Chain A
Amino acid sequence: MENIIIIGNGIAGVTAARHIRKLSDPTANRAGKRIIIISAETDYFFSRTALMYVYMGHMKFEHIQPYENWFWEKNNIELVRGYVTEVAVEDKKLLVDGSRAFYYDKLIIATGSKPNKFGWPGQDLHGVQGLYSKQDLDLLEVNAPNREACKRAVIVGGGLIGIELAEMLRSRDIPVTFLVRETSFWNGVLPEGESQMINEHIEEHHIDLRLATNLVEIVPDENGKVKAVITDKGDTIPCDMVGLTAGVSPNVEFLRDSGIELGRGVKVNRFLETNVKDVYAIGDCAEQHEAIGNRRPIEAVWYTGRMMGETVAQTICGNRIAYKPGHWFNSAKFLDIEYQTYGWVFGERGKKDYEEHFHWRHPEEKLCITVAFHKENNLFLGINTFGIRMRHELFDRWLTEERDVDYVMEHLADANFDPEFYKNYESAIVGQFNSAFGKSIRSKKKNSKRIFQLN
């Protein structure tokens, strides 16, 4: 019998548990591997990215739990509710809530992130919160249940969580002021044209967007509750709730004296192993010693958490393999605009010397794409797409096959993943590409033999 303890029941930890259970030989009876997941947050796994929809009334909390409650017992995965206060690696022991002791043979740390706070005056007042956990969601129901209790909310930090929080609050008609440090929304990541389009869309949703504006201070009222914020532009904005959404960082404080090597997160090698034997770290809280390709050392992304969970499960089940994420992909939704990205397209800040961009934007609708390619050899590097869905499988294949940008343009219709009957924009896109780069590519018609590789 081997005890495998996973701290954290997010996507990384749960994926690891599921795959370990799947890989452990069922004929070797249940005694083969005992899997215990410890979480302080909730009893059952839920989709963190869907918390916003609970507040907005699209779903109830039970709907964002991907597995029915009987799933865990049926698959012999034990769930423990509690906060791990101490990890003693010498004894291979955990303390939960300072008292209950658990012994492990293998330990997987998958504790995720916590919202950043940068030492702003007043950041711990009542009415100030981040948006990451189930507890944050419950708190939001207290801080901003409706527009009567919350006459204005101020959101600090223009990233993915910030815009989600803005959308949530607007769904209850709460006035929102959105402070963004950058000169244009998320332009550290997005190229100029896209960022500009999102700025416009934010304002369409009656969100008071304040670009290039920093938070200076959060002002309390006489009860220690937030009353207003002061910005570096000298404005004082009265408000009842402040959302701090300036990114997240690994949730690893409880490991500070454990002997497990920490940087910003838990330091791991390519096999997701920490410096201590039989201790692994995956998901948001893991920090690679050296970044993989163009990726960041810490990837706080749903998809990478899931991949790391699968990888570590292989290793734990006796098939030691390295974490080798393939081509980068990601997605998000900015209010009504869906965003997908495949390969690498950098914003102004991170743009490589060899990187050339082609940007197309629809004259009226909120649709645009940016294609990145290599200046010298025309190699296709990546695509950002807004309001047009694209086929993951195809871009993944093209990146693997190292296609050039002309090939991608020619076959763009194959990659379209919009619902049937949607208008197609390939010819407009390719036309503009041709005139911008003096080419004469003709957009090929969609061909399902090519898409599904039936030859």
Chain B
Amino acid sequence: MSTYDRSMALTGQPPVILNRNQKIATLIGMFGLAIILLAAFNVSFPNKGLWLTLALTSIIGGTVWFSREAYLDKEPGIKNDGVWFKSLSNQGFWGWIAGIALTGFYIVLYFYPEYLGLVKEGSNKGVIGLFDPLSRALSGNPASQWFVYGTLYTVAILAFGIKFLWKYRHNRYERIRTFSVMFFQTAFAFIIPELMARLNGSSLLNGGSLPYYDLKNMWPLNYYNFEGYRIKGFLSSGDIGFAMLIFGIATVFIISPILTYRFGKRWYCSWVCGCGGLAETAGDPFRHLSDKTVKAWNIERWVIHSVVVFVTLMTTAVIYSYLGNDTSKYWLTKSTFLIGVAVLLTAVFAWVMVFKRKQFQKDAIYGAIGFFVIIIALIGFHFFSGEGNVFLFKSETLRKSYSFLIGSIFSGVIGTGFYPVLGNRVWCRFGCPMAAILGFQQRLFSKFRITTNGGQCISCGNCSTYCEMGIDVRAYAQKGENIVRSSCVGCGICSAVCPRGVLKLENGPLKGRIDSNQVLLGNDVDLMQLVNQK
């Protein structure tokens, strides 16, 4: 019915052919990509530092120039014209091509880094070799596939972040939020850990060496944070190392609950997190592809909570495996640790059941009971299993399968590779255990909500369509209800695209936060009471 366009443009509008400057911008960006691609085919560039700089500046410059041409000569406002007409952004041919290419990249990155030129003994070749000069400048070490990935990741967040800033230049919430993700990615995820690597072996760390640590990356997103080698690294690195370990624990149990209480989980998911950062910037053109059906929501709840159970079991098993049995050596032993975990989980569970059970839908209660029983039962198995075995499995098996299934396949290959097919928050919505835990807090214990503005909703569906988390926002808004959903990452786009000013993200009093009344204001008060009778 509608006009379909086969252009690869993510911006601009379907009937508008790229203007001359955009063509040049595309050429520049492609030139940068071509350098990296040639390096991947083992073309050895003579002056690597220069060529790398050229490649990265071309990519950033091309993207930024293209976006500038797309947005800056237009009035500030919502720029979604033709989104569903473009094959790149409507799951059409180019969308699938992009999806396949990204997926392929992730598979090579995670499982075949040697194709990218990684050489274990001796100097790197290929793409990784091309990035050596930058890596040496930052940390003093040669590049790895993770350094290449981190650099490209940061470049993507910065270049597409600038695009996003122009696209939403009328919206200060979006602008400030985007500056935030750009900052946290560049400083915390990219530069600081690289510079910290320079400290390794120095007297500041008592000669110890810190594990690579992106400070904003919390457990369980950072599922490996409490593995034996990292704990050893922290503990070997003097006061600084110890402080970082304490910080790692505090982020999970103290800092994040407080911030989530005050601001909702958005303080992390759409302001700080790296996965969120990429989704909000490079992933923004695909946000509308998330599935909004009730069926998808059901799948989401089962899958994501299973991942939480998995990561909890895995981490418990891993920590358990390196703890000792002798209380005289160290107070924390295998059994005290397991008892501690069980007590903590039971406390959380009991608290929720006592104070918040009314806010739960039935199936959530079943789910919670089920999962709780499993955890307790598995811990019980410990007492019947021998040395080296934890629960039913060897802890190493559990760790490896988590790392492979969740850490690599789910968060990387599917989570990012499938952006153009399943939307930009697939990982955050279906897989991220961090998001699930923060969401649990957000749903039950937070001041954050999306307020619906009385009866102004016209059921148009922009909010639901552009919700990257697949929340059917309209279903609440058209009834006059506030939106309090555990999956909401607070990106603010529903509010931005609303043509009638109906939605506002805000932190307010707990009372009346989840307002299940249908307040179609402007109508007779008596009638509204009748409508609200349950």
Q: Is the pairing of A and B real?
A: yes
**A residues engaging B (CB < 8 A)?**
11, 19, 47, 49-50, 53-60, 63-66, 68, 138, 141, 145-147, 171-173, 201, 204-205, 302-303, 306-307, 310-311, 314, 319, 321-329, 331-333, 335-336, 338, 340, 389-393, 396, 417-423, 448-449, 451-452, 454
* Assembly CA distance A321 to B525 (angstroms): 12
By the criterion CB–CB under 8 Å, are B521 and A392 in contact? Answer: yes
Stretch at the interface among B62-70, B321-329, B507-515: B507-515
User: With a CB–CB cut-off of 8 A, which chain B residues contact A201?
Assistant: 75
Q: Select which of A47, A65, A393, A421 is within 8 A of B176 by beta carbon.
A: A421
B58: Cβ under 8 A from any A Cβ: no
Assuming the contacts A11-B459, A50-B458, A58-B462, asked whether A336 and B523 have C-beta atoms less than 8 A apart, the reply is no
Per-position contact with A for B67-87: 1 when CB-CB < 8 Å, else 0? 000000001111011111100
| B294 contacts across to A, CB distance below 8 A | 68
Instruction: Determine which of A49, A324, A452 lies in contact with B460 in the assembled complex, contact meaning CB atoms within 8 Å.
Output: A49
B346 to A: closest C-beta gap in Å? 34
Q: Which 10 A-B pairs have the closest CB atoms?
A: A392-B454, A336-B77, A50-B460, A389-B501, A324-B524, A57-B82, A421-B172, A47-B459, A333-B499, A171-B81
Q: How far is the CA of A60 from the CA of B294 in the complex (A)?
A: 18
A422 CB to nearest chain B CB (Å): 5
Nearest CB of chain B from residue A141's CB, rounded to whole Å: 6
- Pick the residue among A173, A204, A340 that contacts B75 (CB under 8 A): A204
Q: Does B122 contact A (CB under 8 A)?
A: no
9 A-B contacts (beta carbon < 8 Å): A19-B531, A57-B81, A321-B526, A331-B458, A392-B454, A419-B496, A419-B504, A451-B508, A452-B508
Interface residues of B (CB under 8 A from A): 1-3, 13-16, 75-78, 80-85, 170-173, 176, 293-294, 451, 453-456, 458-462, 464-465, 474-475, 478, 492, 495-497, 499-501, 504-506, 508-509, 511-512, 519-527, 530-531
Q: How far is the CB of A171 from chain B (nearest CB, A)?
A: 4
Chain B residue contacts of A138, Cβ below 8 A: 1
Residue of B nearest to A399 (CB): B522
Q: Which of B15, B456, B520 contacts A307 (CB 8 A)?
A: B520
Given contacts A50-B462, A310-B531, A326-B523, contact A57 B511 (CB under 8 A): no
Q: How far is the CA of A311 from the CA of B140 in the complex (A)?
A: 74
A residues near B14, Cβ cutoff 8 Å: 57, 172
Q: Is the CB of B464 within 8 A of A173?
A: no
CA distance A60 to B172 in the complex (A): 28
A56 touches B81 (CB 8 A): yes
Closest to B533 in A: A23
Is B459 a contact of A338 with CB atoms below 8 Å? no
Closest chain B residue, CB of each to CB of A337: B77
Nearest A residue (CB) for B4:
A57
Cα–Cα, bound, A136→B506 (Å): 39
Which residues of A have CB within 8 Å of B504? 389, 417-420
Complex Cα distance A454/B511, Å? 8
A296 to chain B, nearest CB (A): 15
Residues of B close to A449: CB separation below 8 A: 509
CB A419 to nearest CB in B, in angstroms, measures 4
Whether the Cβ atoms of A328 and B458 lie closer than 8 Å is: no
Chain B minimum-CB-distance residue to A329: B522
What are the residues of chain B within 8 A of A451 when measuring CB–CB? 508
Of A172, A314, A319, A420, the most chain B CB neighbours within 10 A belong to A420
User: Beyond A326-B523, A327-B522, A391-B453, is A53–B500 a contact (Cβ under 8 Å)?
Assistant: no
Cβ-defined contact, A173 with B15, below 8 A: yes
**Residue numbers in B under 8 Å from A418 (CB-CB):** 504
Give the interface centre of B15, B81, B451, B459 by most chain A CB atoms within 10 Å.
B459
Contacts of B465 in A (CB 8 A): 58-59, 63
- A to B contact number (C-beta, < 8 Å): 195
B523:A58 contact, CB within 8 angstroms: no
B459 to chain A, nearest CB (A): 4
Return chain A residues, CB-CB under 8 Å to B495.
Answer: 419
List the A side residues contacting B85 at CB < 8 Å.
57
CB distance from B166 to the nearest CB of A (A): 15
| Separation of A204 and B77 alpha carbons in the complex (Å) | 13
Is A335 in contact with B75, judged by CB distance below 8 angstroms?
A: yes
Question: Would you call A66 and B524 a contact (CB within 8 A)?
Answer: no
Nearest CB of A to B344, in Å? 33
A302→B458 CA distance, assembly (Å) = 7
Contact A420 to B506, CB < 8 A, known contacts A141-B1, A310-B520, A319-B530: yes
Residues A325 and B522 in contact, CB atoms below 8 Å apart: yes
Of A56, A172, A421, the residue contacting B173 (CB under 8 A) is A421
The listed residue with most A CB atoms (<10 A of its CB), out of B77, B80, B456, B526, is B456
Q: Is the CB of B509 within 8 A of A310?
A: no
B504 CB → nearest A CB, Å:
5
Pair B500/A392 contact, Cβ less than 8 Å: no
Task: Give the nearest-CB partner of A449 in chain B.
Answer: B509
Name the B residues within 8 Å of A393 (CB-CB). 453-454, 519, 521
Q: Are B460 and A448 in contact (CB under 8 A)?
A: no
C-alpha gap A323/B523 in the complex (Å): 9
Q: Is the CB of B81 within 8 A of A58?
A: yes
Q: Is the CB of B460 within 8 A of A314?
A: no
Instruction: Please give, as numbers and ranges, the residues of chain B lying within 8 Å of A329 by CB-CB distance.
Output: 454-456, 521-522
Identify A53's interface contact among B460, B478, B508, CB under 8 A: B460
Once A66-B474, A421-B172 are accepted as A-B contacts, the answer to whether A314 and B530 lie under 8 Å apart by CB is yes
Chain A positions within 8 Å of B492 at CB level: 419
Contact present for A66 and B82 (CB under 8 Å): no
Q: Are A326 and B525 in contact (CB under 8 A)?
A: yes
B456 & A331 in contact (Cβ 8 Å cutoff): yes
Check if A306 sits within 8 Å of B520, measured CB to CB.
yes
B509 with A452: CB separation less than 8 A: yes
Q: For residue A421, which residues in chain B have a CB less than 8 angstroms away from its CB?
A: 172-173, 176
User: Chain B contacts of A59 at CB under 8 A?
Assistant: 84, 460-462, 465
B456–A340 touching, CB < 8 Å: yes
Which A residues touch B171, using CB under 8 A? 419
Give the interface centre of B1, B505, B511, B526 by most chain A CB atoms within 10 Å: B1
Q: By the criterion CB–CB under 8 Å, are B501 and A57 in contact? A: no
A172 touches B15 (CB 8 A): yes
State the Cβ distance, B422 to closest chain A Cβ, in Å: 17
Contact A392 B461 (CB under 8 A): no
Given contacts A47-B458, A310-B527, A340-B501, contact A57 B2 (CB under 8 A): yes
B80 contact from A58, A333, A419, Cβ within 8 A: A58
CB A315 to nearest CB in B, in angstroms, measures: 11
- Shortest C-beta distance, B413 to chain A (Å), equals 28
A396 to B75, CA, bound (A): 33
Q: Could you tell me the distance between the alpha carbons of A393 and B474 in the complex, rounded to whole angstroms?
A: 19
Q: Is the CB of B500 within 8 A of A333?
A: yes
Report the minimum CB–CB distance from A379 to chain B (whole Å): 19
Q: Are A328 and B522 in contact (CB under 8 A)?
A: yes
* CB-nearest residue of chain A to B460: A50
Given the interface contacts A63-B465, A338-B499, A452-B511, does A173 sit within 8 Å of B16 by beta carbon?
yes
Q: What residues on B are CB-neighbors of A392 within 8 Å? A: 453-456, 521-522
Report chain B residues within 8 Å CB of A326.
521-525
